[in-house]
Amino acid sequence: MTCLSTSYFKFNINGHALRNAIPSRGLCQGNPPSPYLFLLCSGDDSLLLCRANNRSAHAIRNALDLYCRASGQKLNLDKSVLSFSPNTLPSVQAQLHQILHMPIQPCHERYLGLPSYSGRDKKILFADIKEKLWKHLSAWQEQLFSIGGKEVLLKAVAQSIPTYAMSCFRLSKSLIHQIEVMMNKFWWGSNSSKSGINWKSWSALCQPKSEGGMGFKSFIHFNQAMLAKQAWRVFSNPTSLLSRMLKARYFSVSSFLNSNKGSYPSLTWQGIVWGKELLLKGLRWKVGDGHNILYASDPWIPGIKNFKPLQSVMTSTNQHVSSFITSDRHWNLELLYATFLISDVEKILQIPLTIFPASDQLIWNFETNGAYTVKSGYALATSLEEQMPNVSGLQSQNWWNKFWSLTLPSKKQDASWLNPPTGRLKLNTDAAINKVTQTTGCGAILRNSDGEIVAAFSKPVIGFFRPEVMEALSLMYGLQWLLDNGLHVHYIETDSLVVAKELQSLSTAVSDFHCLLSDITSLVSYFPGVQIGHVYRSANSAAHLLAKYALSVDCVCSWLEEMPPPLNAFVL
């Protein structure tokens, strides 16, 4: 009994024994007084690939023997197996068996429901998916479920079964059709003993609930969206092992976006190429310096089909977007209106330009951070097929849009501007918009610990941007204005919670909005120890009035140690 209760273990790592480890927690096996841990060992499976010849077999044997001598471990040959491709001769298999002394077995390993070795026969590769799904649906048929219960089972269990397979391969249309038929029959109460009426097709059930459907996934669109994620990984991480391997095999002399299936493509590559088709429909250029973007043929204008201009009058199609940007990093309005349609110019003016020129970059248009997600890819795939929404769904969507756009009294936030500590300065920034003139107003005010105005400015910016982009522009121009006037700041406040949180999180996203945040971070570095925080609109009223005043002027207005006219009637 003493021997059992006083057991301990030592770990020998890199030739040095560590201190004792006394077992105290775990599952007792059999006898309660027995130690919690009986055996410490290392177990791991390795897959070694080689050519089916004697030289490769001897090389593997020598490497394994060297490892065993160096580590003191011993290879279990009885649990190791040899697997060969179908075109390997039996005589060659016998020779390698004599060298390695391992039994020969067909590959039986599986990972997340798929065989580790995949051939070109999709029916064999995906047979278990259909079988597993059928077993679940058949077992559920014997029980009584409500409509809500069926919905949960289909969404949480049945639709998740082929998820891993769809992230690696393109499922055949026949398999997807069979799976959707089984799920549709289960939804409407059909089984082997009775046949129910399918009042709606599966494609109708895949519509959002707001449009009369049930929100089930369309497998063909979800499959493509999952594979588009793999294509995005290859595109965004060109130095990864997978990207380098695929490039060497399929697009060694071209870029990934210009690649095709090539000769004898694997099922993996065929799926990635199919996913890339969806990815290309959502990629657009983020404008940095504009030197790498052809204005007429490249996708770069958000809010327009294919992100390309509808029409241009310039004869040179090789002209770059940089020709429409002035030296002070603003859009050349005269040249824009002379080149593009008014509808295109309105969309171009929604593209913010940073203070510091950056390189152009392809981003995913349908996410605020510029990175692809399966959710946005699935939404794009379904929208491309459903160019004409059904009437009932459109009416329902319009009704909900009107409902959520109702003007209601806002929640009262009792907050006022707080003075900074003695000897410190606080900067408040805000933005305003005039939808008619497509102009954004930026305002900033710098005050000391007594609430006295040190400086203030109002700056109009041509363009109509998203709220968070407008707030980021106002903060960026406010910091640049401080630097130009040799002013210092210790505290910065904005009423945009999104901007404040993103600056504090140091996000590495690549969207237009995050490029503005990158410029703000660079400008903040000139003010050591500055703190950025969020305040409610009621505590940012002075900056808001300055931003609204910028909408009524056509140039930058700056005031140093004097009361700005827009604040004459404002009680600080």
Q: What is the pLDDT of residues 309-331, one digit of tens each?
A: 987 665 566 789 999 999 988 89
Do 228 and 146 sit in the same domain of this protein?
no
b vs e for 22-51, b when ≥16 Cβ sit within 10 Å of the residue's Cβ? Answer: eeeeeeeeeeeeebebeeeeeeeeeeeeee
pTM of the model: 0.77
Q: Is residue 473 part of a domain?
A: yes
Do 210 and 227 sit in the same domain of this protein?
no
- Is the CA virtual torsion 560, 566, 568, 572 positive or negative? negative
Which amino acid appears at position 234 of this protein?
A: V
Do 439 and 555 sit in the same domain of this protein?
yes
Dihedrals phi, psi of 425, to nearest 5 degrees: -120, 145
Do 228 and 212 sit in the same domain of this protein?
no
Do 181 and 139 sit in the same domain of this protein?
yes
Among 36-40, 152-156, 528-532, the range scoring the smallest mean pLDDT is: 36-40
Do 195 and 257 sit in the same domain of this protein?
no
Q: For residue 357, give the nearest of 298, 289, 409 by alpha carbon.
A: 289
Which amino acid appears at position 81 of this protein?
A: V
DSSP label at 387?
A: S
Q: Is residue 489 part of a domain?
A: yes
Do 253 and 199 sit in the same domain of this protein?
no
Do 253 and 273 sit in the same domain of this protein?
yes
| Residue 4, pLDDT above cutoff 70 | no
Q: Find out whether 546 and 566 touch, Cβ atoms under 8 Å.
A: yes
Do 461 and 533 sit in the same domain of this protein?
yes
Q: Is residue 102 part of a domain?
A: no
Q: What is the DSSP string of 263-325?
A: SS--HHHHHHHHHHHHHHTTEEEEPSSSTT-BTTTS---TTSGGGS-S-B--S-TT-BGGGGB
**Domain ranges, residue 209:** 124-217
Among 110-114, 175-179, 281-285, 401-405, the range scoring the smallest mean pLDDT is: 401-405
Please report, for the domain that includes residue 556, its CATH number.
3.30.420.10
DSSP label at 540?
A: G
Q: What percent of the chain has pLDDT over 90?
A: 45
Give the total number of structural domains in the chain.
3
Do 266 and 213 sit in the same domain of this protein?
no
Give the separation between CA 133 and CA 139, rounded to whole angstroms. 10
Q: Is residue 138 part of a domain?
A: yes
Do 235 and 184 sit in the same domain of this protein?
no
Average pLDDT over residues 374-387: 87
Do 241 and 129 sit in the same domain of this protein?
no
Q: Is residue 447 part of a domain?
A: yes
